[in-house]
């Protein structure tokens, strides 16, 4: 039975077509996925269905919800539908929840507004809702505030809010993108259960093919505001007909191969690094206080190697990166690079530090928005004793920008003129310009789409050869780490729990935690891909 | 190709029309006040009771006369001198002292240095500005210089607070880390990254403080602790006109409108300057 049917939906903002002739329908009890890379208009589709489009936009087409066309509904009429009939789950639960209200209150408030029931009844319903999404109210009290919960717990609260009014359609916009793999698989499981039990229709918006292959029955693939391909998920994956689908599948499944190690010469050695933050602020999570962030971390990096560090958020991997770079003081431990210590008598030796650079995760905040690219890229020259001048500097800048696959004319532009992928290239250009030995990539590819990722991996491998670089690749994504690293360290709670050759570790994990990480990582079923490969490779 | 790119940036990076309007109004008033040093239509120390309270537009007196028969136009011109000078100097003191303090506090956030600076600011905030101004003028005698110092001191915590707050949020961005990776010290980071990124906030605050400076000078002159007679200031003109507002509203309107014009022109200038300095808002999406 069709619940929602979108027919020839088009949206224009300032005469620019954002959505072009979108048509699809969703049945009760079905998970329908919208797949697309960032900027493909998939979130815009969700906003159009809830009629929360920006004011100056123009919408055409029909949106049939239970056979009535909500495209013509007034804002007042939509208020009765939003929340009670159609509800939404967002990507970032911290910003979607009100930080000043307890979680129980936020759920019961929705209930009171829409159902006109009294406070006690609403509170009880809120309790039931929380229990239902797996938050045991004896352990997680409804009186807690959002900041006292973990990311996964917050997302559960969001889901509880979304389903509290027993809506018919739930729109989940990248619901697990901000979460760890382990939490991700739990949340996906929860969503599946809710859909099955309540016969909700779920519109899942994501860029991750693996998630789609795991939970959605049907899928529509979007690009540039239009649906290119749609159908049953399994058919689409097994026999992709549209070239773009094939390209996406190829991007998601092509595994770059890590470059084999040529030498076993140690380039960098880190020994017994420890750090404890002294927290003065009371956090709700008791055991987080005064727990060491890094505990006795020791490892080496070989010449030309790509070393992966994998762990969930909060395991200390970013602190490790910052400690290595000397951005955070450590309690104990030494870092030795190319035969000389990076810190000497608690002062950073800039000559040695010049051999290390870092690329950050967020391509949008890692550049000063007021500086042109040439100035951004030339910033590391500050580390050199003899700074290159005029002509020499110009040549260095030009080489760096061309080496990362951008144009010389880009040097005059400003960061906001580039897309996320291009910005990460600029970040790499900034890192390579003074020819370092090691580059730390702190979740550097996490914010990018699959296609862009593959290009970046290729670029990193090329640069590694050209510049004789070693990488420390920090990520929470095991598939990604598998694709690019030679060796891997698994981190948990500030400790290295397992280390070794990447393929060995992933194939035969020894540690319980590693196994858990690997098993929670969603992947496209192997038998779906066997048939798609020859077509994709054509 | 490269040259072409550059010219596009230049072409579109123009200041908004409103900036030029603001600037011309402001320059016009400044010119008049400078002119008043050497020439005014009438000598304002010359009282002509027979000509008193002439409405605006009367022959010989464009904006009319006050209760002593002094020409309002001349008084406005002379008053602009004091008002603008006091507001300028006071804002300048606040900027020059407040911004470095704020940057220092932000770069050493949550350290004793930060605490000392910020609690010092609180201390100044704790006293009503006018009380301290009265104290200063009582000790050193009422004069324009003392009024400038008194108002200037109260601008310091305003600027250091705004600077610290804005700088703190910039300090958390990744490009600050990137700059640290490049071996930049706190001073370099503040000059190259923090200041340019908070200029728009500071410009807006400057225009606000400038307006407040004019008003504060008026307040001080009103209680007789700012500019001393016979030198007029816009604030004193406002104060003097108070008792006659019902039958000679032009006495209050003239300085009032003058203050509004200056404040508005400065605010529009500040606003469009802030936009101009932000590369994101320059329309060169080529």
- Summarised one tens digit per residue, pLDDT across range B136-153 is 877 887 778 888 888 898
Residue B8 has pLDDT above 50, yes or no: no
Report the percent of chain B where pLDDT is more than 70. Answer: 92
DSSP SS3 for A265:
coil
Which residues have C-beta within 8 Å of that of residue B219, sequence separation ≥ 6?
Answer: B130, B235
A414·B279 Cβ contact <8 A: yes
Q: Please check whether residue A479 is in contact with residue A491, taking contact to mean a CB–CB distance below 8 angstroms.
A: no
Farthest CA pair distance, chain B: 76
Determine the residue of chain B that is closest to A348 in CA distance: B183
Residues forming a β-bridge with A300: A269
Question: DSSP assignment, residue B247?
Answer: T
Determine the residue of chain B that is closest to A417 in CA distance: B285
In chain A, which residues have their Cβ closer than 8 Å to the Cβ of B7? Answer: none
Interface A-B, measured as beta-carbon pairs within 8 A, has a size of 78
Verdict on whether the full-model pTM lies above 0.80 = no
For B179, the token pair is 């700059």
- Whose tokens are 């780490």? That residue is A481
Which residues have C-beta within 8 Å of that of residue B244, sequence separation ≥ 6?
Answer: B53, B67, B251
Q: How many residues does chain B have?
A: 286
Min Cα separation B256/chain A (Å): 39
pLDDT-derived band at B90, boundaries 50, 70, 90: very high
B5·A412 Cβ contact <8 A: yes
For A411, the token pair is 């040097």
pLDDT in the model for residue A220 = 92
Residues forming a β-bridge with A7: A62
Residue among A485, A491, A489, A482 nearest A471 (CA): A485
B174·A360 Cβ contact <8 A: yes
Residue B57 has pLDDT above 90, yes or no: no
pLDDT-derived band at B37, boundaries 50, 70, 90: confident
Kind of pairing, strands A340-341 and A495-501?
unpaired
pLDDT in the model for residue A443 = 85
- Whose tokens are 């069709």? That residue is A2
Determine the residue of chain B that is closest to A375 in CA distance: B192
How far, in whole angstroms, is CA A520 from its chain's centroid? 16
Q: Which residues of A169-202 are buried (b: 16+ CB within 10 A; e: fewer)?
A: bbbbbbbbbbbbbbbbbbbbebbeebbeebebbb
Q: Please check whether residue A476 is in contact with residue A313, taking contact to mean a CB–CB distance below 8 angstroms.
A: yes
Residue B164 has pLDDT above 90, yes or no: yes
Determine which of A369, A374, A410 to mutate to test the interface with B (most B C-beta atoms within 10 Å): A369
Residue B96 has pLDDT above 90, yes or no: yes
Residues forming a β-bridge with A219: A33, A231
Q: Torsion angle, CA of A54/A58/A62/A68, rounded to 10 degrees?
A: 50
In chain B, which residues have their Cβ closer than 8 Å to the Cβ of A408? Answer: 2
pLDDT in the model for residue B162 = 94
Mean pLDDT (whole number) for B219-246: 79
For A98, the token pair is 């009100």
> How far apart, in Å, are the Cα atoms of A311 and each of A270, A415, A490?
18, 30, 6
Min Cα separation B281/chain A (Å): 10
How far, in whole angstroms, is CA B142 from its chain's centroid? 21
Residue among A415, A450, A451, A448 nearest A430 (CA): A415
Mean pLDDT (whole number) for B183-209: 88
pLDDT-derived band at B282, boundaries 50, 70, 90: low
A354·B183 Cβ contact <8 A: yes
Reported as type and span, the H/E element at residue A270 is strand A266-276
Q: Please check whether residue A335 is in contact with residue A273, taking contact to mean a CB–CB distance below 8 angstroms.
A: yes
pLDDT in the model for residue A256 = 65
Determine the residue of chain A that is closest to B3 in CA distance: A409
If phi > 0 it is left, if psi is from -120 to 50 it is alpha, else beta; for residue A377 that is alpha
For A154, the token pair is 């917050």
Element counts in chain A: helices (H) and strands (E): 20, 22
Q: What is the mean pLDDT for each group of 10 consecutive residues in chain A (538 residues)?
A: 88 85 90 86 86 84 88 84 86 80 87 82 88 82 83 86 88 84 86 89 89 89 88 87 85 71 82 76 50 85 90 83 84 84 74 87 85 90 84 90 89 87 90 91 83 86 88 88 88 88 88 87 74 42
- By the 10 Å C-beta count (0-12 exposed, 13-18 middle, 19+ buried), B92 is classed as middle
What's chain B's average pLDDT? 81
Q: Please check whether residue A9 is in contact with residue A45, taking contact to mean a CB–CB distance below 8 angstroms.
A: yes
CB neighbours of residue A341 within 10 Å: 14
Residues forming a β-bridge with A487: A307, A501
Residues forming a β-bridge with B71: B65
In chain A, which residues have their Cβ closer than 8 Å to the Cβ of B182? Answer: 379-383
In chain B, which residues have their Cβ closer than 8 Å to the Cβ of A416? Answer: 279-280
Q: Please check whether residue B239 is in contact with residue B218, taking contact to mean a CB–CB distance below 8 angstroms.
A: yes
Residue B12 has pLDDT above 70, yes or no: no
For A71, the token pair is 């495209």
Q: How many CA atoms lie within 13 A of A288 on its CB side?
A: 13
Min Cα separation A11/chain B (Å): 23
Q: Concatenated DSSP letters for A369-387?
A: TTS-HHHHHTGGGGGSSS-
Residue B236 has pLDDT above 70, yes or no: yes
Residues of B with CB under 8 A from a CB of A: 1-2, 5-6, 9, 173-175, 177-184, 188, 192-193, 196-197, 277-280, 284-285
pLDDT in the model for residue B7 = 32
pLDDT in the model for residue A39 = 75
In chain A, which residues have their Cβ closer than 8 Å to the Cβ of B111? Answer: none
> How far apart, in Å, are the Cα atoms of A6 and each of A69, A167, B91?
9, 18, 59
CB neighbours of residue A265 within 10 Å: 11
Min Cα separation B197/chain A (Å): 7
Where is pLDDT greater, at B37 or A221?
A221
- Distance, CA of A79 to CA of B53 (rounded, Å): 62
pLDDT-derived band at B3, boundaries 50, 70, 90: very low
Q: Please check whether residue A274 is in contact with residue A332, taking contact to mean a CB–CB distance below 8 angstroms.
A: yes
Of B179, B181, B279, the CB nearest to A369: B279
Determine the residue of chain B that is closest to A430 in CA distance: B178
Kind of pairing, strands A86-89 and A226-232?
unpaired
Predicted complex ipTM: 0.72
Sign of CA dihedral A261, A266, A271, A277: negative
Q: Please check whether residue A131 is in contact with residue A193, taking contact to mean a CB–CB distance below 8 angstroms.
A: no
A379·B179 Cβ contact <8 A: yes
């Amino acid at each position: 039975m069709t619940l929602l049917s979108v027919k020839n939906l088009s949206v224009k903002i300032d005469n620019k077509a954002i959505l072009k002739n979108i048509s699809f329908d969703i049945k009760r009890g079905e998970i329908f996925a919208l797949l697309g890379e960032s900027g493909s208009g998939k979130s815009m589709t969700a906003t159009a269905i809830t009629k929360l489009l920006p004011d100056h936009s123009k919408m055409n087409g029909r949106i049939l919800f239970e056979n009535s066309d909500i495209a013509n509904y007034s804002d007042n009429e939509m208020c009765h539908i939003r929340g009670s009939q159609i509800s939404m789950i967002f990507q970032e639960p911290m910003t979607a929840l009100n930080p000043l209200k307890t979680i129980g209150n936020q759920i019961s408030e929705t209930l009171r507004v829409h159902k006109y029931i009294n406070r006690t009844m609403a509170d009880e319903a809120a309790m039931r809702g929380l229990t239902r999404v797996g938050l045991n109210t004896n352990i997680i009290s409804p009186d807690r505030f959002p900041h006292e919960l973990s990311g996964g717990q917050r997302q559960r609260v969001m889901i509880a809010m979304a389903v509290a009014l027993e809506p018919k359609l739930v729109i989940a916009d990248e619901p697990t993108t901000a979460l760890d793999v382990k939490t991700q698989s739990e949340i996906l499981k929860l969503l599946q259960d809710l859909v099955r039990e309540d016969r909700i229709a779920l519109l899942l918006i994501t860029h991750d093919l693996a998630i789609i292959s795991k939970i959605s029955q049907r899928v529509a693939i979007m690009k540039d505001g239009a649906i290119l391909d749609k159908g049953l998920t399994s058919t689409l994956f097994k026999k992709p007909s549209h070239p773009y689908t094939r390209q996406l599948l190829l991007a998601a499944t092509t595994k770059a191969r890590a470059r084999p190690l040529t030498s076993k010469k140690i380039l960098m050695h880190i020994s017994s690094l420890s750090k404890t933050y002294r927290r003065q602020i009371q956090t709700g999570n008791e055991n987080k206080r005064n727990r060491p962030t890094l505990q006795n971390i020791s490892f080496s990096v070989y010449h030309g190697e790509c070393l992966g560090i994998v762990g969930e958020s909060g395991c200390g991997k970013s602190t490790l990166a910052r400690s290595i770079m000397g951005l955070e003081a450590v309690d104990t431990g030494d870092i030795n690079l190319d035969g000389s210590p990076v810190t000497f008598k608690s002062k950073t030796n800039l000559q040695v530090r010049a051999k290390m650079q870092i690329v950050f995760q967020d391509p949008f905040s890692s550049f000063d928005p007021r500086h042109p690219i040439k100035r951004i890229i030339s910033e590391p020259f500050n580390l050199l004793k003899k700074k290159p001048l005029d002509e020499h500097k110009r040549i260095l800048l030009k080489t760096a920008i061309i080496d990362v696959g951008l144009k010389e004319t880009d040097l005059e532009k400003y960061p906001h003129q580039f897309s996320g992928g291009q910005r990460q290239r600029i970040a790499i250009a900034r890192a390579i310009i003074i020819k370092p030995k090691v580059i730390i990539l702190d979740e550097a590819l996490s914010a990018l789409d699959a296609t862009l990722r593959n290009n970046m991996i290729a670029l990193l491998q090329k640069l590694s050869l050209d510049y004789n670089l070693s990488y420390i690749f920090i990520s929470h994504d095991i598939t990604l780490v598998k694709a690019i690293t030679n060796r891997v360290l698994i981190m948990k709670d500030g400790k290295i729990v397992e280390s070794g050759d990447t393929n060995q570790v992933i194939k035969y994990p020894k540690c319980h935690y590693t196994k858990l990480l690997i098993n929670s990582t969603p992947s496209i079923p192997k038998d779906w891909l066997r048939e798609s490969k020859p077509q994709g490779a054509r | 190709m490269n040259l072409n790119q550059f010219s596009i940036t230049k072409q579109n990076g123009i200041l908004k029309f409103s900036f030029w309007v603001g600037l011309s109004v402001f320059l016009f008033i400044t010119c008049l006040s400078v002119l008043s040093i050497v020439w005014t239509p009438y000598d304002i120390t010359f009282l002509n009771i027979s000509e008193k309270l002439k409405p605006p537009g009367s022959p010989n007196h464009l904006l009319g006369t006050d209760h002593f028969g002094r020409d309002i136009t001349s008084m406005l011109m002379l008053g602009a001198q004091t008002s603008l000078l006091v507001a300028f100097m006071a804002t300048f003191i606040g900027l020059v002292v407040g911004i470095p303090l704020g940057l220092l506090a932000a770069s050493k956030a949550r350290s004793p240095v930060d605490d000392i600076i910020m609690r010092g600011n609180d201390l100044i905030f704790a006293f009503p500005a006018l009380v301290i101004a009265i104290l200063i003028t009582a000790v050193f005698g009422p004069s324009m210089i003392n009024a400038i110092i008194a108002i200037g001191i109260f601008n310091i915590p305003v600027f250091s607070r705004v600077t610290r707050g804005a700088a703190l949020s910039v300090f958390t961005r990744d490009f600050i880390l990137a700059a640290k990776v490049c071996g930049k010290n706190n001073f370099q980071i503040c000059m190259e990254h923090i200041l340019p990124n908070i200029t728009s906030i500071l410009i807006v605050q400057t225009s606000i403080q400038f307006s407040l400076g004019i008003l504060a000078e008026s307040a001080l002159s009103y209680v007789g602790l700012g500019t001393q007679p016979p030198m007029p200031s816009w604030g004193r003109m406002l104060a003097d006109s108070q008792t006659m507002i019902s039958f000679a509203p032009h006495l209050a309107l003239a300085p009032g409108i003058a203050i509004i014009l200056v404040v508005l022109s400065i605010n529009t200038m500040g606003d469009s300057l802030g936009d101009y300095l932000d590369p994101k808002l320059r329309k060169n999406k080529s």
